[in-house]
A and B are shown apart, each in its own frame.
Chain A
Amino acid sequence: MALSLTVNGDRRASAADPVTPLVDILREEFHLTGTKPVCREGFCGACMVLVDDRPTPSCLMPAALAEGSDIRTVEGLGTGDALTAIQVALETCDAVQCGMCFPGMVVTLTHLLATSPEATRDDIRAALSGNICRCTGYERIVDATLSALAVK
């Protein structure tokens, strides 16, 4: 039985096994490669997507369970060529290095901006305890988030 998934507003079908991790269908079938499978254990956060607005590690979500939900990947966050507020802040702060963790960072921080307008530095660090960055040492990501919160 084919799976039917709503990804970035589009209805997509997949013939994959229902327990296939969502990340693999997004990448291998829909070619939405912004979502990165890095640890496949839910620790790194690089495969984070929004499932009904909730940050979800797509390596731990069987595709069948995502049916009927609004799945939003990093590719579906902005409109057209424009960057979102957190993307602008991260670019302005020169936060990006290799970039592999940033799609997941952007997803987690998009949620934080929407739900925790009063977040402090420590709140942001705690919110990122499931998003690992190997390059930057985090500080600029936290700085960028604070600046995005200040703009809002």
Chain B
Amino acid sequence: MTAGTLAQGEATGTFYIASSLAAALDALNDYGPEGAAFAGGTWIMRAPIRHQPLKTRHVAIGKIPELTEIRIGTDAIEIGAAVTHAALASALADLPDFAVLTAAAGRSANPAIRSLATIGGNLATSDFSAADCVPALLCLDAQIEVSSRSGRERMSLEAFLTQRSTLAPGRLLTKIVVQRSRHKTAHARLPLRKAGDYPVAIVSLSFDVDTANYVRAARIAIGSVETVARRWDRLEAALLDRPLAPARAADVAAELAGEFVGRESVEVPPWYRVSVLPRLVRRATAAALGA
């Protein structure tokens, strides 16, 4: 049991505010395992309640211009890793193909948290299963850029999710790249209250629907149900080349939901996370069709 956070502590740690990406990568490289990138801080600063020790050396990346930019191109958008949820939601508000990401970034947690928490932090925090942006970006088939002193590499978000907890010191998630499309997208999340808490289940989806309302491509991602968000391949396949209808999507989801095993948690029993999926699929599908 902790007895409050330390005030009046002696200055023992290092907090380096990097002004450029190169400087941040140098510092992270030098600090090695003692160091950690510090973006919004909404996860790191809560270490005491998790009874986790703070790292002694932090590299703040939130003031690096390159990492706080959003570039909206005709073919793709590029999002710096230190872009906050609030900034992202506001930048994408008028792009219908990113409705899913706007909703994910614009409704997570609460307003003050959204103005601190970053998209990079949301993707990189492997202990945080209820991240809204992870399924949203999975259904957008996002690419992740990871940088280190030796260069930059691109990988799929899926690949990043499998590596993130073992990413070597000095390697930093720097950018998210998403191709633009005419897809209809939507994000359905289920908090236990109306808002303000983490969703117990998330359905993010992206459909390419032809003029006859047939699904030509589908990407559906499920978040918060299991420890790590993932695509729902079987549901995608079942909806393909059929007319898109919320009720039918929900029915198929109900048939297939058994493949998920809800994670253990204080908030809700595991079965609950799974059993609300059909409802969320219907809601998200209806929202996508409305978009």
Contact = CB atoms under 8 A, between A and B. Distances in A.
In their complex, do chains A and B touch, with some C-beta pair under 8 Å? yes
B14 A18 contact: yes
A54 to B, nearest CB: 6
Interface stretch (A38-46, A70-78, A92-100, A141-149): A38-46
Contact of B41 (A15, A62, A127, A130): A62
Interface string B45-88: 11011000010001010100000000000000000000000000
A45 B112 CA distance: 8
B14 A42 contact: no
A32 interface: no
Contacts of B60: 64-65
Nearest to A54: B115
Interface stretch (B2-10, B203-211, B216-224): B2-10
A108 B15 contact: no
B62 A20 contact: no
A28 B8 contact: yes
A54 B87 CA distance: 13
A18 B13 contact: yes
A17 B45 contact: no
A130 B112 contact: yes
Contact of B196 (A28, A43, A59, A64): A43
Contacts of B48: 40
Interface string B105-119: 000011111011000
Contacts of A67: 17
In the A-B complex, the 6 residue pairs with the closest CB atoms: A130-B110, A18-B15, A24-B7, A129-B196, A64-B15, A28-B7
Interface of B: 4-15, 17, 38, 41-42, 45-46, 48-49, 54, 58, 60, 62, 109-113, 115-116, 194-196
Given A18-B11, A56-B115, A57-B112, 4 more contacts: A15-B11, A18-B15, A24-B8, A40-B48
